[in-house]
Amino acid sequence: MNRRRKRPAVWHVCSGLVALVAATSAGGARAPAATRTRALTPVTVALLPIEATAQAFYAKDEGFFRRQGIDAKITVVGDPRLIGDAVIAGEAQFGSVSVGAFAIQRTRGAPTRVVAAGSLHRPTAATSALVAAPGRKITRASELVGKLIAIDSRNNLAHVALLKWLKQNGLRESDVRLTEILFADMLGPLTRGQVDAAIVAEPFLTLAKERGAKQIRVVLDAVCPRDCLSTMWMARKDVDRDLAARFRNAIQAASVWADKNKNRRASSVIRRSMAQPWIDAFTEFGVIPQSFSALDLVK
């Protein structure tokens, strides 16, 4: 994928959360753009190789990080569970994390906080879907009973969304078989028929369809029938506030650049509904002990 020229038409920033995070930083002030004489601050950004993390690639390739005085090294991680570990250990200063994964961190008292908004799940432009392996005639939930379904990891967005969709169709997790395969490794087992179905994220979703996989359902719609926040950018709680503000500015600038055709302007108000559905769904299926306000994610 040509990250410099191709704009991600399938994801958008939740700019309201960006505004709230800005208000919680020192004085609520925006960090100024870096001057030419300012030394660049080296940082490592950990993320998954999926469309939902494209903001960081654009921020780097289009110079938004550099304009904020940041020299960003992007580290692609296959397993989403390793991103939080890397940030907590100080191996990465910033990382992309799903709303649900961050909710788990919060309930466990992890020393992390949200510093910028990530991607939205938009039912009209979804970036992941449940697909059937080539040759498998699966079009509805009932036809998945007893079938082997690949997910990237348990207790993450795809897993919880699948459980929600199955429940809406009168099924339980025990009615299907699940296996964990990283997004980047799903194409082989799926196209060879080693799994009957898989929840695949872009850019691998497009490749899977090109190889004969058929879309069954956008299962994230079961949790988010309307636009809702899917990912966030996190850092340790003790991250330098000026650095966090500059990182946020770069991410927001990249989001505005990528979404320019839609002419979406930054909002000054967060909408709780953007992240709340995931927190409630993770509670519903016992991944976290109890629900809480999405506003608490930035505290």
Q: Considering the domain 15-122+227-298, what is its CATH architecture?
A: 3-Layer(aba) Sandwich (3.40)
φ, ψ (nearest 5 deg) of residue 137: -95, 80
**Among 230, 250, 253, which residue's Cα sits nearest to residue 242?**
250
pLDDT at 260: 65
Alpha helices per DSSP H over the chain: 15-24, 54-61, 64-67, 81-89, 99-107, 157-168, 187-191, 204-210, 241-258, 276-284
What is the dotted CATH code of the domain comprising 124-222? Answer: 3.40.190.10
> Measured over all CA atoms, what is the biggest interatomic distance in the chain, rounded to whole angstroms?
63
Chain centroid to CA 274: how far? 13
Burial 65-85 (b: 16+ CB within 10 A, else e): bbbbbbebebeebeebebbbe
Give how far Cα 294 sits from Cα of 116, 273, 298, Å: 14, 8, 8
pLDDT at 124: 87
Distance CA 23, CA 28 (A): 4
Q: Please name the residue that has the structure tokens 């087992």.
A: 189
Give the pTM: 0.76
**pLDDT mean by block of 10 residues, the chain; 299 residues:** 39 38 39 61 94 90 96 92 93 94 89 90 89 97 98 92 97 98 94 97 93 97 90 95 96 83 36 63 81 68
Q: Where in the chain is the domain with CATH 3.40.190.10?
A: 15-122+227-298, 124-222
pLDDT at 68: 97
Chain centroid to CA 20: how far? 19
pLDDT at 233: 96
Chain centroid to CA 118: how far? 6
DSSP 159-171: HHHHHHHHHHTT-
pLDDT at 167: 97
Amino acid identity, residue 285?
F
